[in-house]
Structures are given as structure tokens and as C-alpha cells.
Amino acid sequence: MKLFEPFVLNKTTLRNRIIMPGMDTNFGDEEGNIYDKLIQYYELRAKGGVGLIIVEGAYFDKRGSGTANMLSIDSNKRIARFKQLVDAIEKHGSHALLQIYHAGAQASSYMIGLQAVAPSAVPFEMAGETPIPLTVKQLKKIVKGYSEACLRAKKAGFVGVEIHAGHGYLLNQFLSLRTNKRQDMYGGQTFENRTRVLVEVLHEVRKKCGPDFIIGFRLNGSDYIKEGLDVEDVVQITQILEKESADIFNITGGVFDSPRFPVVPYMNYPKGCFVENASIIKKSLKKVPVAVVGRINTPEYAESVLQEGKVDLLSIGRSLIADHSFPNKIKEKKTDSIRKCIGCNACLNQIMTEQQIECAVNANLIGTDEDIKQTTNARKIVIVGAGPAGLELARIATIRGHKVVLIDKEKEIGGSLNLAKVAPSKKEVQNLIDYYNFVLKEHNIETQLETLFSRQMVDEIGADIVVLATGIREKIPEIKGWKNDHFLSFSDVLLRGKIPQGKNIAILGGDMIGVEVAEYLVSKGKHLTIITSKKRLGTDMYSLVAREIIVDIEDNEKIEVLTETMVTEIVDGFIICESKGEDKKIKYDGLVHTSAQTFCEIENELEDFEGIVFKIGDCKEIKPRKVLDAVKDGYNLGLIIESPEAEELFSDAADLESDDIRVIIKNKIKQGAFTNNDIPTYLDMLVTICNGNATIQKKNKKAQLGFFIVIGDEKRYFIRIDKGTFSAGEGIVEEPDVTIEMDPSIASGIFAGTINAASAYMAKELKFKGSMRLGLKFRSMTDIVRSELDKL
């Protein structure tokens, strides 16, 4: 295969044409230090057969930091730790570049505690901030910073660097007329001027690091935004950089303000969505090789791109998060065992919310199945429900030596995955179902499909443990005039393939399930009215994924969206509702409701069971969660299922009776009963937890901070930190360090963690005044609370 042909880049020979592109992990701290976890993560991908690993972005100037936990290469003291990372990669046959960048306008104040800088004072819409234009003197200092950082990378053992000039970061801002309004030698209409800073960086790095040091550029094939760069512009840019001795161009696309966010393309983008632009760029160059990233997630497609000569190398990113052995499995012709990326962007959501990277389909990013310890106390386990939680538990428990019987009433495995895959934007969810079908066969796991669980089965199997992974089912709405036999549920549509009669269909509910139903029905030619009580669609969806899909829905002429709308009655083919203070009467031909509830009634059948009963996945929560949560549940329980620790960590808090406010709050959150009226009690609990948490105390022992929380026009709360001592309550903070404003409709969800804060921020429902970095401290407090509640 061409994929595994060696490739010479400058003077370095790569063992194959597979590149792991730079992708943030947050496996570091706020000071830019490298955690051991980061080294293990990259070492595992080197073991998996990657030819060239581009280590995620590092900053040399804190003002250019793109994430709160971005790696730093700002001084020589960083070199030794980076050398440990390079050594871990190279001992397995891979080579390493370090990606270096300055985020410019996209280094918004909540990350750096300072106003961002850029070529010109053009607002960064996502953050709602306007940067300070750089002076020529400041720009010269930045050029020098790049060269010094690259020299440190060379001293650490990297064979080269990748200068990130895409995705809307500083160098991309200079290249684009949309963000570069300068009239000096670094701006204007000529590419010579707008590429000048890139050329200066290239010259300075070459001067310091020598001719054999690889200097690559990550560039957009298109910015996918009005007045941004298009492929014709990038052809001219790459031709200029080729003449100045650039070694490789790694082509991507989009900026963070692009309307449909192609920066990390969601699963509804076609495979190889940036390949054609990369191919045009390659054809325009004389000798510099071109790589491309973007939805290259199958061996067959990867090979075809190379065979057709469209590019020279392939940057395969999220597929290596999903399965570190992606290259080796292709080479060894074990492609059926590849855990394919489904493009859901759970990984991106983790980074955008300043959490460590996780993967929806791979619960362990730094270890292998071979590392999993065998049990010394094998049990017989019945798992009821073959959705992602039950399937992953079956996999891990079997690997560890337990005897597993997996039962499901449907004729196919997949559970909620079979609902999701029906939506046109989510067809690649089938990848995960295919993987688990391989797992069941490979590990010879006993699976009983089209089988209703009964208490008798537990005795017949001789089970020691029963795990309920039964997911969700429809919940009948409490609406006057509701006739259950006249209307369809989301399960009827997505799972059973029923299509409502008539042309005009009303969908009650605008969260993730409602959006999936809408996507499917509009593809069948239906005209839709989506009715939601919330201010916007998709409040429970990943922030950037929601933006991608919801823009399509809102732009669709066949779909009307009614937000802040309460349905009061259904009568004679009309929906009676109140929408933003006005009475409405909506005619419909068919109606689909999307209300869901946990499904675990069979728990009552197990009251006399003397073994242990666990609940995992959606069936233990009041509302549907994500695939990531389900897979993680199955994985984590599988590692410890026979131990007393499992009973402690996976006990059902809803069964607990206690005056402990922690238990009260957890039960309310779980049952969907946590409201804005519970926030004062929550704050009391937050104070108790933070004052008793050693990690929080250590981080705040010198802090003197005031947080002012404003909820709508009425509620005012404060949190104070005085040298590690926390206090909170109702009231006003004089001269707060940060003011956090929340719309009343989302406040309880932000505290409870049921609403995505990043999504709310981008929808302007959550705002910060003052340093948003301190706003992240507030989020870290709520994270600690949720962590403590999870232990109950």
C-alpha cells in the first residue's frame, strides 16, 4: 500500500505517510507544564505505527495561548521535559514535530487574563471581544519569539516544527483581508505584504535551526467565511513560502468564526472534506509536499487519496484518538478490529470546555486492552441492554475473565445508537455498532437478542451480578387533549421507521432528540414546526456541533422554529400554545413528541435477588446523555465490577434517604427537579465542599477574589475566596473580580451541569464581565461539586 511507503521529508525519513496532526489534549496545567499522561498518550500513538507525530500546539508568549492548559515552550527550562516526550515517541520508530502558534485575536481574555492582540481591531465574534492591533515593534518581538521557541524544540530533539497559520490564529489573521486591515508593510491588498510576517518567521527559524530542520506550515485551504481566504489565495501564499524554503504544507480549513465550524468537521461532512483544496494546492507547487487532514477515517479512503496523487501524506487525527493502532491494524490486515471515529466531536467539546480530552468510542486514551488486569474473582454477569454502555461493559468484563450474558429485546445491538444513526447527519454512528458486532464475535460473548428479560433468567444463568443498561424510552407528555394513539413518539419515528401522515408535522421538543427527529423528517419531504420551551434548539448538544446542525435547521425553508413556547392544549388538529407572551394556534397534520424518561422498571423484578444490581448509561439518569458517558460508564464498571468499590461508585443515589444536602441536591439533579430556587442550598454545599477539599485549598491559598452571579433581573449571589476560605450567599459584591450573568432559563442547568456552558456562552445566555479566566475558576468549583456528588 502507498500508505506504508517511506517518505523523505527534508533529510528525515518517515516510515510511512501517516501523520498525526496537532490536536489539543489539555493533558497539562495552566502553567504549560507537561503531565505524564501526555507522554503516555503520544507514546501509545507511536507504538500504533504513526510515521510522524505533530505534538499539539505550544505557546512562547502567554498572550498567544489558545487554551487554558496549552503547552508552553517559553523558556529553556521547558526543554528537558519536551525531550522526555520526544524520546518516548522516537523509541517506537516515529518522528516528532512540535506545533507552535500564537492565537492572536482567538486568545481571548478568559484564557489569558489580558486583552488579545491581532493585526487589526477586528472582533473575534465567538468570544465577543475586540483585540488590540499590534505595533511593528511588538510584531518583531513575536517573530523573534517564534524562532527562539523553534530552537528550543530542536534542542529537545524534535526533527522540526509546524508553524500554525490556519484556523484563524495570528498568522492566519495576517493572511486574510477579513482580519488584516493594516495599511503598513504587513497589510494591504498584496500577498507580499500579508505573507511578510510568515516569511520573516521562516527566515529566522531557518537561521537559528539550520537547513536540515523541518519547517512546516499548517494552512487553511479555505477559511469558509465571507471575505476570508479561498483556495486561490492559498495557492499564491504557498508559492511564496515554497520559494522561501518551507518544507511541507499541512492543509486544513475554517476559522473559529466560520458559520458551520469546519475547523474540526462533524460527521455530516463528507470524507476528505479538505482533499480537493489540498490537491489544487499540490498541483500549483514545484516540489514541497502537501498533507491534508479532515474526515479521513477509513483505510480504503485513505489509500485512494494517495493512489490518486491528490496529496503526498495524510494527517489522520481523530481516528488515532479513537484507535491508537489504526496504522498497525491496516498494515496487519486487521481492519475489522479498528474502532473507527464517528466524528461526533466529543473530543472537541472537552477541549472547548477546558477539560481533558476524552473520546466517545474509546474510554482509555493512554492504555491498551493488554494493560487491563485479569480478575481473580470471576463472576457470572447478566447485562440487560445492548446499547453503548452495556456493550462496553460486556467487552471489558469478558477481557478480564468474567462470564457475560448480554440480553436485549431488539433484533439488533446498538440501543440508542440505532435512534441516532437515522438522522442524516449521524449516519457514521453505524461505525460504533459495527465495531461492537466485531467485539461480540471476537470474544465469543453470549448474546440473546429479541429476548425479554425475566427474573427467571437470572436463576437459570446462575448470575452473581445483574447490570441494567436499558436506556431511555418515551414519556407521555402531560398536555390537555393528548391522545396517545393519535401521535407518534421519537422511538416510533427513529427506531420503528414510522412516518407521520400528512405534510405539516409538529415536533414537540427542541433538544438533541427533537433535532434528530427534525433532520430525519425534513429529509422525507415534511414541513416542520419545532416547538420548544427553551430559548434555542439543542441546549443539551455539544456547543460547536449544535451550531453546525442548528444553522442548517434554521436556514431550512421547510422548518419553522418556535422557541420560548409552551403547549397548553391539543384540540381538533390544532396545537394551542403561548409563545413569548402571545397566544398561538398551530395547525398540524401529524405530531411527534420527544419527551424521554429512564427505562428500568425491571429493577422491581430483582427485589428478591441476592446478588448485586447496577445501573449504567441513560437508565440511571433523568434524561438522555451522550455516547461518551455511556461508554465510559461501561468501561469503568467493567474494570471493578466484582469489587466493593463498584458498589460504592455505582450505587443509586435515588435510593438514598438522608438529610445530607449533598444527597438532596444529587437526587434533585438526577430526577430533573433541581431549580433556580435550589441555588442557595447548592452554594452552601459548594462552600462546604471547597473548604474541605485539599486540592481547591492549595490552589487558592493566596487568592482574594469576589464572584458576582446575576440571574436575570432578580437573583443576586456572591462567592468569595479569602486566602483559601470560601463563603457564598445571596447579596451583592462590591467591585467583583468577575461578574457572571445567566439567563434564568439556564441557570439551574449551569449549576447542575445539565446545560453545556460553552454552548450557552456562544448563545449569549451566559456572559462574563471581567476576566473570563476567573470565570473558569467558578466552573472548576462546580466541577469539584459534581465530582463529590458522583462519589455518593
Q: Check if the beta carbon of residue 397 is closer than 8 Å to that of residue 389.
A: no
**d(Cα 715, Cα 675) in Å, to the nearest integer?**
13
Among all chains, which residue has been given the C-alpha cell 477574589? 705
The residue type of 494 is L
pLDDT of residue 708: 92
- Residue 199: count other Cβ atoms within 10 Å of its Cβ: 17
End-to-end CA distance of the chain: 53
Q: Check if the beta carbon of residue 24 is closer than 8 Å to that of residue 32.
A: no
**d(Cα 38, Cα 22) in Å, to the nearest integer?**
13
Report how far Cα 581 is from the mean position of its chain's Cα atoms. 36
Task: Please give the angle made by the CA atoms of 102, 108 and 112, to the nearest 5 degrees.
Answer: 75
- Residue 402: count other Cβ atoms within 10 Å of its Cβ: 22
Burial 556-595 (b: 16+ CB within 10 A, else e): eeebebbbebebeebeeeebbbebeeeebebebebbbbbb
**d(Cα 759, Cα 756) in Å, to the nearest integer?**
5
pLDDT of residue 651: 57
**d(Cα 220, Cα 249) in Å, to the nearest integer?**
10
Task: Kindly report each contact of residues 291-294 with a partner whose C-beta sits within 8 Å and lies 24 or more positions away, as own/partner.
Answer: 291/19, 291/248, 291/249, 291/250, 291/251, 291/315, 292/221, 292/250, 292/251, 292/252, 293/21, 293/250, 293/251, 293/252, 293/317, 294/252, 294/253, 294/265, 294/269
Alpha helices in 9-78 (DSSP H): 36-47
Segments of the chain with pLDDT less than 70: 108-113, 543-545, 599, 621-624, 651-658, 671, 756-759, 762-763, 771-776, 792
Burial 66-97 (b: 16+ CB within 10 A, else e): bbbbbbbbbeeebbebbeebbebbbebebbbb
Among all chains, which residue has been given the C-alpha cell 403561548? 578
Among all chains, which residue has been given the C-alpha cell 499564491? 236
Report how far Cα 528 is from the mean position of its chain's Cα atoms. 29
Burial 480-500 (b: 16+ CB within 10 A, else e): eebeeeebbbbbbbbbeeebb
Edge-to-edge order in the sheet of strand 565-571: 565-571, 574-579, 582-587
Q: Check if the beta carbon of residue 704 is closer than 8 Å to that of residue 684.
A: no
> What does each C-alpha distance from 278 to 313, 316, 380, 431 come to in angstroms?
11, 14, 53, 26
User: How large is the C-alpha radius of gyration of the chain?
Assistant: 27
> What does each C-alpha distance from 121 to 65, 99, 133, 165, 769 come to in angstroms?
18, 26, 5, 19, 20
Enumerate residues 6+ apart whose C-beta is below 8 A from 132.
115, 116, 117, 118, 121
Look at residues 680, 669, 688 and name the one whose alpha carbon lies nearest to residue 749: 669
- Residue 371: count other Cβ atoms within 10 Å of its Cβ: 8
**d(Cα 135, Cα 573) in Å, to the nearest integer?**
65
169 φ, ψ (degrees, to nearest 5): -75, 180
- Residue 366: count other Cβ atoms within 10 Å of its Cβ: 16
Cell of 34: 507537561
Say if residue 45 is exposed, middle or buried (CB neighbours under 10 Å; 0-12, 13-18, 19+).
buried
The residue type of 245 is S
pLDDT of residue 621: 67
**d(Cα 477, Cα 593) in Å, to the nearest integer?**
8
Q: Check if the beta carbon of residue 136 is closer than 8 Å to that of residue 83.
A: no
Residue 435 host element (H or E): helix 430-442
Q: Residues, the chain, total?
A: 792
Edge-to-edge order in the sheet of strand 559-562: 488-489, 590-593, 504-508, 527-531, 559-562
368 φ, ψ (degrees, to nearest 5): -120, 170
Domains of the chain: 2-352 (3.20.20.70), 372-466+598-651 (3.40.50.720), 476-594 (3.50.50.60), 662-790 (3.30.1050.10)
Q: Check if the beta carbon of residue 633 is closer than 8 Å to that of residue 467.
A: no
